[in-house]
């Protein structure tokens, strides 16, 4: 049996190659909770380095399988290696051979990245402080939510543009720290969230992480 970091993305997440985007997100959230440093179930099974490698692999799987073009390219790479059959994806071998020999195989990594960046379509909002009148205003889940709602940006919109699970966005705003993903992923999510809101990413991350660490030091001693 392959190690977790060597398994294909579908096996790693425990889902079918036909899984919907919602099923991918649900499987990702569950897997992160299992392999995070706070998990009692796997705490003694992996070293911190192994845990980070697994979480990194899970994030790669999530990003790939929730992006239509990246997922299609990944599927064809698995089929070319004989690790995935056309039938598992729900189409015939003839359809597969035509697609593999056609345009899909010619897509370069650079073009995939460019397309992914275009797909994000972030709002071009000027970077402002959470409170333009007082720079020292604490960065809290409540202040983040207030800014989002004042700019009439829904959680659904942020989710569509960043692929950050809606549950995670809600946990950030409600400061459900015990439900948040591993620290390395939380920082990335906060940066993307700040970009959507049009605010300084460093201030957003540092301010929120400060509260997160205060909670962790207080309640997890």
Is residue 129 assigned to a domain?
no
Residues 173, 104 share a domain: no
Question: What percent of the chain has pLDDT above 70?
Answer: 72
Mean pLDDT calculated for residue range 84-93? 71
The DSSP call for residue 194 is H
User: Residue 27 is part of a domain; what is its CATH number?
Assistant: 1.10.287.110
Domain end marker among 77, 100, 116: 116
Domain end marker among 80, 101, 116: 116
Please give the Cα distance from 31 to 58 (Å, whole number).
8
pLDDT at 151: 81
Mean pLDDT calculated for residue range 32-54? 70
Residues 99, 24 share a domain: yes
Domain end marker among 99, 116, 133: 116
pTM of the model: 0.44
Cα–chain center distance at 74: 17
Judged by average pLDDT, the poorest of 68-72, 117-121, 158-162, 196-200 is: 117-121
Please give the Cα distance from 99 to 70 (Å, whole number).
15
Is residue 130 assigned to a domain?
no
Residues 58, 16 share a domain: yes
Range of the domain at 40: 4-116
Is residue 55 assigned to a domain?
yes
Residues 102, 32 share a domain: yes
Q: Domain total for the chain?
A: 2
The residue among 79 and 108 whose pLDDT is bigger is 79
Question: Nearest-CA neighbor of 13 among 69, 71, 68?
Answer: 71
Q: Which residues of 57-72 are buried (b: 16+ CB within 10 A; e: fewer)?
A: bbbebbebbbbeebbe
Is residue 51 assigned to a domain?
yes
User: Residue 186 is part of a domain; what is its CATH number?
Assistant: 1.10.260.40
pLDDT at 91: 58
pLDDT at 3: 74
Residues 107, 152 share a domain: no
Is residue 122 assigned to a domain?
no
Residues 147, 67 share a domain: no
Residues 212, 149 share a domain: yes
Band of pLDDT at residue 117, cut at 50, 70 and 90: very low
Mean pLDDT calculated for residue range 148-161? 86
- Residues in Cβ contact with 193 at an 8 Å cutoff, skipping those fewer than 6 apart: 144, 158, 162, 164, 169, 172, 204
Q: Tell me if 209 sits within 8 A of 216, measured CB to CB.
A: no
Residues 101, 152 share a domain: no
Residues 108, 22 share a domain: yes
pLDDT at 34: 79
Residues 177, 102 share a domain: no
Residues 177, 91 share a domain: no
Judged by average pLDDT, the poorest of 61-65, 88-92, 103-107, 181-185 is: 103-107
Q: Strand pairing partners for 199?
A: 128
Q: Is it the case that residue 174 has pLDDT exceeding 90?
A: yes
pLDDT at 46: 67
- Residue that has been written with the tokens 């990702």 in this structure: 28
Is residue 182 assigned to a domain?
yes
Residues 181, 146 share a domain: yes
Q: Tell me if 161 sits within 8 A of 122, measured CB to CB.
A: yes
């Amino acid at each position: 049996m392959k190690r977790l970091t060597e398994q294909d993305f579908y096996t790693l997440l425990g889902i079918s190659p036909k899984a919907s985007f919602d099923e991918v997100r649900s499987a990702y959230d569950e897997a992160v909770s299992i392999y995070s440093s706070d998990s009692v179930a796997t705490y003694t099974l992996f070293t911190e380095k192994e845990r980070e490698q697994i979480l990194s692999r899970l994030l790669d799987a999530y990003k790939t399988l929730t992006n239509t073009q990246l997922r299609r390219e990944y599927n064809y790479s698995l089929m070319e290696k004989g690790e995935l059959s056309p039938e598992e994806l729900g189409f015939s071998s003839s359809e597969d051979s035509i697609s593999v020999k056609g345009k899909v195989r010619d897509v370069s990594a650079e073009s995939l990245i460019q397309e992914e960046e275009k797909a994000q379509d972030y709002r071009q909002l000027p970077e402002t402080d959470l409170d333009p009148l007082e720079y020292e205003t604490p960065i809290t889940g409540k202040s983040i939510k207030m800014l989002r709602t004042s700019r009439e940006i829904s959680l659904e919109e942020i989710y569509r543009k960043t692929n950050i699970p809606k549950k995670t966005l809600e946990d950030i705003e409600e400061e459900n720290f015990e439900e948040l993903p591993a620290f390395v992923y939380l920082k990335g999510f906060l940066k993307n969230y700040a970009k959507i809101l049009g605010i300084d990413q460093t201030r957003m991350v540092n301010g929120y992480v400060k509260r997160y660490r205060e909670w962790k030091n207080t309640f997890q001693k």
